[in-house]
Amino acid sequence: MAKVVIDPITRIEGHLRITVDVENGVIKDAWNTCTLFRGFEIFMQNRDPRDAWQFAQRICGVCPTPHAHNGLIAAEMAIGIPTVPDNARLVRNIMEASQLAYDSILWFYILNAFDYVNVPNALNAKPTTPALQAVQDQVRAVVASGQLGPFANMYWDHPGYKLTPDLDLELTSHYLQAIDAQQAANDAAVLIGGKYPMIMNYAVGGLTMLPSLEALVFYKSKMADVAAFTNNIMFNDLLAIAPFYLDLAKTGKGHGNYLTWGVLDGKSQLPNDRVFPAGGIKGGNLTVFDVDPDEVRRFTKSSWYADSSGQGKHPLDGGQEPIEFTSMPPIEGDAFPSGKYDWTQAARYGTDNLPMEVGPLAEVLVAYGRGVKEVVDLVDAVLAAVGAAGHPEVLMSNLGRIAARVIKSKVNSDHAAEWADLLIANMAAGDTTCYTHVETPATGRGHGGWDAPRGALCHYMELSGGKISKFAAVPASNWNLSPRDDAGVRGPVEEALVGMPVADPARPLEVLRVVHTFDP
Amino acid sequence: MVHDDTTLFRGLSRREFLAFCGSVAALIGAGQAAVPEIASALESLAKRPSVVWSLFQECLGCSVNLLQSRTPGVAQLILQQISLDYHETVMAAAGFQAEKSFNDAVDSGDFFYVVEGAIATKIPEAMTVGGKTSMDIVTSTYKKAKATIAIGGCACYGNIQAAAPNPTGAKGVAAFLSEDAGIPDPTVINIARCPGNAEDMIATLSYVLLYGKVPPLDAIGRPLFLYGATIHDQCERRAHFEAGEFIEQFGDVGTTKGWCWYKVGCKGPVTYAPCPTTRWNGHLAWCVNAGPCTGCSEPAFWDKVTPFYAQAPAALPGLAGVSAETIGYVLGGAAAIGLAGHAIGQVATGRWGKGATGEADEMKKGGE
């Protein structure tokens, strides 16, 4: 038995510790501990519901746009605005498309790649182009300076790195290109949103204003560049490195339950009519069931919040109060986390209190199960490329999570121009409506449900006296990084870690890989 | 390090390098005549300046904005201009190996400390890294750093998690150090706004490197060369304010004509920031292109300028002609303190150093 603690888990958004118990080279048990608490559900009380989305986008500076969107649609439901003008729908899709494209590139390269790409090994490559030579020179200059900066102290000599030097150099080169590509993706919507991160053009009821034609043409041009990067570089990088890491297709399945609220609205603005429709999957069975945000319960037996009922609570019935901090689990010594060990609550779904994995894999599997043709075609193509044609269940793995992220990003990029074209057509036909004003009622109750790039996200809101009386956010971390629930069932990341081989507990590269596949 | 005296500075061609120096000169307001001085100062640095970047109670938005930097570009910045020795989002290593990177850089004492995020003081364990609280980390690291820069509203003033009732006791770095850590006159440069702006950060760091001292600061710790004027006074829509041309409701005809957002909530008159001139994301755009300013560079951001979409309080008679300062005084609170600071010209210009005379009174106000 060996206790391995990684704190901080780096290359993520947020603050996370992972504790694992390694026995005979395999993870026998795992615990995740989020080490940050801010209290959004508390300080959003007594606020104007029209401000909620501005507060909410500060929950995550990596994915502020879907938080803004959830804050908006929860308020719209509470106020009584069932749909927004079609132009507002199109602009919200445009903003999300920019966000999703950037975030996928950021995750694949900046946050994830160093688990697979050995940067120093790129020095052993024989560059075939002047551009690759320049990248190798740049790496050499950093190494020669003795100031390794972000590359210092990594497990570069770990046997788990499998790529050839030439591929390591090429991927390092793409890492640098990815910085420009994620900028292009954010730039695409910045004339429309004002700045990034933290956009400015949303309003409860629609938008503050319609984008100019110039801004839309700029968006299309930038997103064309981003689509080229996504389809020609990122997608091909996935196919290039996957054969070296096929063992990751056999690990990390976890519970096999998946949940998505859907993302990217169709004309009806209904969750099941989205590019990625809402839905759930149980026990690895690709038969999709409909989902309802009011079926979510949160448990706090393992979390630093009071647990008076001993039952799961609807998000609006059990917030972040009262706080009941006990103590941080010890890093030193043999003791494993027990009792309360996390600032995250355990979100569970439905009457069975199921732990649900959320994220691109959930979105892709649900779309596949619902027969969304473009997703079915892409998934089938990827499966054929890795020699698993006809077996979508192999996606339920660490490698599958990475593949799903790239597939989701490609589908998004393929749609990006269409919303701008529809908007331009509406404007040309004289439809410039983008805002509906409805006075805030004294009371109301609403919820969102619109996935962030990293997975299912839903805000809940209750109004009293025209102000927010209760607010709750159930982001992807509440699902994937949930601790054990009151019945002792592990959260999805914890479950996915169990059974993972670890070659060297002092250099737990495999733990980083599993955790990063969830984009925590 | 590639450093060829005739053509190259750390991998940049001479032309690229001088262009970079030009953008630095513009950012710190030194003028193009200063370019040779800047070039010479940068070239004389024997090694890349080490930067240690802590993340505390934050959303990572400031780092994400840093990733949008292009003067210089991100790769150029972190591989050629500085040595980013600790940043949890960017670094490859994790866990004990990451801690080693942190300790190696900090123990050398030869580093600049950047803090993104607030310090949790009421529940210290609401923010820990490697089992250490943000309170412990920032106290010990501040003492060893050559300079400490707070980037973004959270590290400056506590920001969103400090919004009432501030469940975790979140504070900005300067307020925490003086009120909780027993450091009476901490020297912290506040790069405000939400998110913190990458170009502000680079300009400020460049200033410190070039001149070896803290830039002149306003009453709440912000560099005056960036935060010396209100949004309203620099706004490209100001003429519409003066002419009484206002957007009355979102999506109305005024939004298509670029009219003033004041009546639907713009906080530009009480907000000190360079947004209209530096803009965002490679200088492409800024908030007022898309909606009313929400006052994100001010300590009053969440509790005093909300609701965001209501006209600033006090029905001011005859809007056209009312000065921004008047509106600021009517709003009161921290915004007005900021204005008073400017009005009487309280400017800190002391040389870089902990507790240098001239800075103390200014920095004490950092947490307000």
Q: What is the CATH number of the domain that holds A385?
A: 1.10.645.10
What pLDDT shows up at residue B39? 76
Nearest CA in chain A to B194: A198
CATH 4.10.480.10 domain span(s) along chain B:
230-343
Catalytic residue set of B:
59, 62, 154, 194, 232, 235, 260, 266, 275, 287, 293, 296
Q: Which of A46, A182, A186, A209 is the mutation pick for testing B, counting most B CBs within 10 A?
A: A209
Q: Is A254 left (phi over 0), alpha (psi -120 to 50) or beta?
A: left
User: What are residue A43's phi and psi, to 5 degrees?
Assistant: -80, -5
The two beta strands, B12-13 and B8-9, are antiparallel
This prediction has a pTM of: 0.92
User: How high does pLDDT run on average in chain B?
Assistant: 82
Q: b/e for A241-275, b at 16 or more Cβ within 10 A? A: bbeebeebbebbbbbbbbbbbbbbbeeebebeebb
User: What are residue B124's phi and psi, to 5 degrees?
Assistant: -55, -35
Q: Which of B89, B134, B200, B297 is the mutation pick for testing A, counting most A CBs within 10 A?
A: B89
- Looking at this protein, which amino acid is placed at residue A168? D
Put simply, the answer to whether B1 touches A111 (Cβ < 8 Å) is no
Q: Which of residues 34-73 of A touch B (CB under 8 A)?
A: 35-40, 42-43, 47-48, 50-51, 54-55, 58-62, 64
What pLDDT shows up at residue B12? 59
pLDDT one-digit tens code per residue, A143-169: 999 999 999 999 999 999 999 999 999
What the block records as the tokens of A465 is 């006296």
Q: Which of residues 16-35 of B touch A (CB under 8 A)?
A: none
User: How high does pLDDT run on average in chain A?
Assistant: 96
Interface residue B46 vs chain A (CB under 8 A): no
What pLDDT shows up at residue A321? 77
A128: buried, middle or exposed (CB in 10 Å: 19+, 13-18, 0-12)? exposed
Three-class secondary structure of residue A121 per DSSP: helix
CATH T-level assignment (fold) for domain B47-221+348-367: Rossmann fold (3.40.50)
What is d(CA B23, CA A87) in angstroms, rounded to the nearest whole number?
A: 39
Nearest CB among A7, A191, A432 relative to B131 is that of: A7
Nearest CA in chain A to B78: A149
CB A104 within 8 A of CB A408: yes
Residues in chain A: 520
Put simply, the answer to whether A60 touches B57 (Cβ < 8 Å) is no
What pLDDT shows up at residue A324? 92
Cα four-point dihedral sign A70, A72, A75, A80: negative
Query: What is the DSSP secondary-structure string of A84-114?
Result: --HHHHHHHHHHHHHHHHHHHHIIIIIITGG
Interface residue B74 vs chain A (CB under 8 A): yes
Nearest CB among A36, A152, A190 relative to B85 is that of: A152
What pLDDT shows up at residue A441? 98
CB B312 within 8 A of CB B331: yes
Nearest CA in chain A to B168: A38
- Chain B residues with CB inside 8 Å of A427's CB? none
Q: Does the ipTM surpass 0.90?
A: yes
Interface residue A209 vs chain B (CB under 8 A): yes
What pLDDT shows up at residue B330? 40
Helix (H) or strand (E) run with residue A509 in it: helix A509-517
Q: Which domain holds residue A353?
A: 2-517
Q: Which of residues 183-202 of B touch A (CB under 8 A)?
A: 194-195
Residue numbers of chain A with a pLDDT score lower than 70: 308, 319
What is d(CA A169, CA A206) in angstroms, rounded to the nearest whole number?
A: 46
- Residue A208 contacts by C-beta under 8 Å, 6 or more apart in sequence? A200, A201, A202, A435, B250, B251, B255, B264, B290, B291, B292
What is d(CA A226, CA A248) in angstroms, rounded to the nearest whole number?
A: 28
- Residue A291 contacts by C-beta under 8 Å, 6 or more apart in sequence? A259, A260, A261, A278, A279, A280, A349
Q: Which of B13, B88, B110, B247 is the mutation pick for testing A, counting most A CBs within 10 A?
A: B88
- Domains identified in chain A, total number: 1
CATH 3.40.50.700 domain span(s) along chain B:
47-221+348-367
Interface residue A142 vs chain B (CB under 8 A): yes
Interface residue A208 vs chain B (CB under 8 A): yes
Q: b/e for A66-88, b at 16 or more Cβ within 10 A? A: bbbbbbbbbbbbbbebebbbbbb
Residue numbers of chain B with a pLDDT score lower than 70: 1-13, 16, 27, 43-45, 312-368
Q: Which of residues 367-426 of A touch B (CB under 8 A)?
A: none
The two beta strands, B50-55 and A263-265, are unpaired
Q: Which of residues 157-196 of A touch B (CB under 8 A)?
A: 176, 179-180, 182-183, 186-187, 190-196
What the block records as the tokens of A265 is 């609205």
- Residue B330 contacts by C-beta under 8 Å, 6 or more apart in sequence? B312, B313, B314, B316
What is d(CA A267, CA B89) in angstroms, rounded to the nearest whole number?
A: 38
pLDDT one-digit tens code per residue, A253-303: 999 999 999 999 999 999 999 999 999 999 999 999 999 999 999 999 999
CA distance B343 to chain A (A): 30
pLDDT one-digit tens code per residue, B159-196: 999 999 999 999 999 999 999 999 999 999 999 999 99
Q: What is the CATH number of domain B230-343?
A: 4.10.480.10
- Chain A residues with CB inside 8 Å of B263's CB? none
Strand locations in A142-278 (E): 202-203, 206-207, 258-260, 263-265, 274-276
- Chain A residues with CB inside 8 Å of B11's CB? 137-138, 141
Interface residue B304 vs chain A (CB under 8 A): no
What is d(CA A98, CA A189) in angstroms, rounded to the nearest whole number?
A: 6
The two beta strands, B147-151 and B189-191, are parallel
3-state SS of B225-276 is HHHCCEHHHHCCCHHHHHCCCECCCCCCHHHHCCCECHHHCCCHHHCECCHH
